[in-house]
Amino acid sequence: MVRTMRNELSRFTVELLKMTTSNGSKKTVAAVPMSLGYQLKSSMINDVLPAIEREYQNMLSKMVKTENRLQVIDEFLQKTSDRAIIGPGLMKVLSDDLKISSEEVFNLLLRTTYVNSLFQNIKKEYRRVDKSDPISYAEACQQLVDIFGLINVLHLMQINGIKMKKSTLQYLYNVSRMPPIIKKMIKSGELPLTVAFMIPQADEEKQIEIANKVKNMKYSEAKKVIMHLF
């Protein structure tokens, strides 16, 4: 995947949505989704969200000067990928701002090099027992689901030769939205991806507590511990 890499564990999900300004006009803004299951440092929010908004506005400005919408959208996704997992709301704001249908936006996004790289990353990893980068793998799944929807992604995966169960895709989505401390355990190998799948959706503190109890355990041992907790 093409990405200007920061520490990938500092990336978080960013939603794009329309906000009504004081003069009544509509503006596209970046926000932290209400559904994000952990707390972010205010310094991260204040750094990332304005940067995403600037890149989005730059993208719209470039659209006026070129007919190559595909390239400009691709550049936006590439430039923001080191800071955020952009997905929620992307299709809608692009449809509104470019004044084209959701279907046209869907097809544009699907043709970008960036989205293609997400599918290639998944295709490279999904058959491996030991993933070379389980967090990048899970985050690729999450971003695709946030952009296109879970059922559409399953269909697109089949087209790309990826045979993945709906439940597996949902588990990977959930893992991608876990607190950074848990992602760090997964990336280091302390917490196998299959064990992380069993951590239920709960508040940040509870998920971290469970992860600490089962880290470095084999799947069968961790399953017993988690079943006992619930």
Tens place of pLDDT per residue across the chain (230 aa): 444 334 556 799 999 999 998 888 889 999 999 888 788 889 889 999 999 999 999 999 999 888 899 999 999 999 999 999 999 999 999 999 999 999 999 999 999 999 999 999 999 999 998 899 999 999 999 999 999 999 999 999 999 999 999 999 999 999 999 999 999 999 999 999 999 999 999 899 999 999 999 999 999 999 999 998 87
Is the C-alpha dihedral spanning 30, 107, 152, 178 positive or negative? negative
Question: Could you list the residue range(s) of the whole structural domain that residue 106 is in?
Answer: 8-177
Determine the Cα–Cα distance for residues 156 and 160; give it in Å rounded to an integer: 6
pLDDT at residue 67, as a whole number? 85
Place of tokens 């296109």: 148
Residue 208 falls inside a structural domain: no
Total domains in the fold of the chain: 1
- Within a domain: 100: yes
Residue 210 corresponds to which amino acid?
I
**198 in a domain, yes or no?**
no
Query: Residue 44 domain-assigned?
Result: yes
Q: Distance between CA atoms of 42 and 90, rounded to whole angstroms?
A: 23
Tell me, yes or no, whether 92 lies in a domain.
yes
Instruction: Characterize 119-143 residue by residue with b for buried, 16 or more Cβ atoms within 10 angstroms of its Cβ, and e for exposed.
Output: bebbeebbeeeebeebbbbbbbbbb
Element (H, E) at 212: helix 204-214
Residue-level pLDDT at 229: 83
pTM for the model: 0.91
The beta-carbon contacts of 184-187 under 8 Å, at least 24 apart in sequence, are 184/9, 185/211, 185/215, 186/134, 186/135, 187/9, 187/133, 187/134, 187/135
- Strand ranges, E, within the chain: 12-20, 26-31, 84-86
Residue 195 makes CB contacts below 8 A (sequence gap 6+) with 214, 217, 219, 222
Establish if 142 belongs to a structural domain: yes
Q: Please indicate, yes or no, if residue 60 is contained in any of the structural domains.
A: yes
The gap between the terminal CA atoms of the chain, to the nearest Å, is 38
Residue 185 falls inside a structural domain: no
Per-residue buried b or exposed e for 88-98, using 16+ beta carbons within 10 Å of the residue's own CB: bbbbebbbebb
pLDDT on residue 9: 66
Which pLDDT value is given to residue 8?
A: 54
